[in-house]
Structure 1
Amino acid sequence: MTLHLAALCLDAIDPELLSRFWAGLLGRELAADGSSLLPVESTGFRLEFEATSEPKSGPNQLHLHLTSDSLEHQQSTVARALALGGRHLDVGQRPEEGHVVLADPEGNEFCVIEPGNAFLADCGFLAELACDGSQEVGYFWRDALGWPLVWDQDQETAIQSPSGGTKIAWGGPPVRPKSGRNRWHVDLAPPAGEDLHAEVDRLVSLRANRADGGRAGATRVELTDPDGNEFCVRTVGATRTPR
């Protein structure tokens, strides 16, 4: 049995606001629920925005990297983000660095990468989920998804689907301490008709943990990876509950 990345989810105070922002920025179509973005060929996963009453606290453990074909493309992406309600963000980047750091309307960080980045070549516009995490957690996600390692040096790791598309990368130590629940998290799903709980048991054998106090049921189980990052395994079509 093979899990697939069903959705990349973002906890949001205003899910519809953020869904409109990211739809406009990524050029994705809104789903009928008004708070999800449909997948595109280069990723294969949805973007879902889940209601929460908890304000953002501290930097996210995960942020998105968007790529550019040219300096003009990079500038137009930045301008579009600002017009949609984003803002520039100072995280200590140096003037000579070519990427631009921005935040969405609720302060979630993302970067617009300069053209010519060889590591993200051919990954598509939504090129990377860049994570603060250990080498071991990269190995966990390799085994959880069955995606091969495409980088494993100096305790930094990255995986990518065999069919290409968005990479997931971990920066290695020192790992920033978590400050509350992650805003970004992933939802995994087994193939239709397969046993969800058997797959949960497999993930636990890989050093995942059942989330303390998390919701567990016939169609959705919440877990944490070896670094303590939240994710869930759900059946296709399982409903979400506001936090």
Structure 2
Amino acid sequence: MALRLVQVNFKARDDSALGRFWADALGWGVSSEGPGVTNVEPVGFVWPDPDAVCIDVVTVPDPETVRYRAHLDLSTTSAAHQAELVAHLLELGATPADVGQGDVPWTVLADPEGNLFCVLEPRPIYRDTGPIAAVVVSCADPRAMARFWGEATDWTLHEVTDDLASLRAAQGVGPYLEFVRSHDVKAVGRVHLDLKPYPGDDQAAEVARLRVLGATDADVGQGEVPWVCLADPEGNEFCVLTAG
């Protein structure tokens, strides 16, 4: 039994506008599964597939009250590509952000609804990830997060230190999932992770397994929905979708 990371979920004031921003930022397409929901994924992509972690943008009544600790890092192939991408993102409506990063080779931006993300300088490790290099979660203990998420999913652990835990789909494709140690763990945006069981697996059994691993139930005002909201041992909320 195992789960796969299939998408990141953005809470938004306007799912259509924010979804279009991220589609244009990544060179992906948009679709919708219903009112208030915009799906952002590679053109021609058959979801779910480990080649990409997609984006699901959902309109909620008051997104300002929803604060998570996850953000996206975008990959680049050269210094020129990084500069061009930053310029393109600013044209799309992103704004420069100062989070105390100082003099670093990456660029910190905020999307039109204020969610932070980074445009990385070229790094060999991310040369084949696609436009999203990593989904990054701030945490207090990367080693503990590696234990939980390594058992929660079928992703492979690539690196674990006191400061960083890095996982990637077992197929060796798509972005990384990274847990980065922060001495001041705080919410940085409205992004959380969505996990999905494999076809034929049982959602309830997976949820029970996660609770044994240390997950706890989370109430985010979801009401009667087919997915289950949980929090990992550091309180990072995530959802377990239905199998299929």
Task: For residues 117-170 of structure 1, give each alpha carbon's deviation from its aligned partner in whole angstroms, at most 9, with x where no partner exists.
Answer: 244343222011121012212221111112121111124211111222201111
Are the aligned partners of 1:65 and 1:112 in contact in 2 as well (CA < 8 Å)? yes
- CA displacement at 1:217 relative to structure 2: 5.8
Q: Could you list the runs of 5+ residues in structure 1 that have no partner in the other structure?
A: 238-243
Are the aligned partners of 2:53 and 2:175 in contact in 1 as well (CA < 8 Å)? no
State how far apart, in whole Å, the 1-side matches of 2:157 and 2:92 are.
Answer: 35
State how far apart, in whole Å, the 2-side matches of 1:102 and 1:190 are.
Answer: 33
Q: Counterpart amino acid of 2:162?
A: D
- Would you say 1:127 and 2:133 are equivalent positions? yes
In structure 2, the CA distance between the partners of 1:234 and 1:82, relative to structure 1 (3 Å rule), is same
Task: For residues 185-230 of structure 1, give each alpha carbon's deviation from its aligned partner in whole angstroms, at most 9, with x where no partner exists.
Answer: 1111112332110110000011001114764768311111111011
Let me know the Cα RMSD of the aligned residues. 2.5
Q: How many residues align?
A: 233
- CA displacement at 1:80 relative to structure 2: 1.2
User: Which of the pair is proportionally richer in strand?
Assistant: 2
Q: Counterpart amino acid of 2:229?
A: E
Are the aligned partners of 1:214 and 1:222 in contact in 2 as well (CA < 8 Å)? no
Q: Counterpart amino acid of 1:36?
A: N
SS at match of 2:181: coil
Over 6 Å off, 4+ runs: none
Are the aligned partners of 1:60 and 1:108 in contact in 2 as well (CA < 8 Å)? no
Judge which range, 38-47 or 183-192, deviates more: 38-47
Q: 1:167 aligns with which of 173, 176, 179?
A: 176
Q: What does 1:118-197 align with in structure 2 at a 5 Å threshold?
A: 118-133=124-139, 134-135=141-142, 136-163=144-171, 164-178=173-187, 183-197=190-204
Q: 1:98 aligns with which of 105, 108, 120?
A: 105
State how far apart, in whole Å, the 1-side matches of 2:213 and 2:90 are.
Answer: 41
TM-score where L is the length of structure 1? 0.86
Q: Counterpart amino acid of 2:202?
A: D
TM-score where L is the length of structure 2? 0.85
- Would you say 1:223 and 2:230 are equivalent positions? yes
- Would you say 1:64 and 2:72 are equivalent positions? yes
Q: Counterpart amino acid of 1:68?
A: T
In structure 2, the CA distance between the partners of 1:195 and 1:218, relative to structure 1 (3 Å rule), is farther
Structure 2 counterpart of 1:35: 38
SS at match of 2:23: helix
Are the aligned partners of 1:223 and 1:231 in contact in 2 as well (CA < 8 Å)? yes
- Would you say 1:82 and 2:90 are equivalent positions? yes
Judge which range, 142-151 or 32-41, deviates more: 32-41
Judge which range, 132-141 or 208-217, deviates more: 208-217
User: What is the identity percentage for the equivalent residue pairs of Structure 1 and Structure 2?
Assistant: 35
SS at match of 1:11: strand
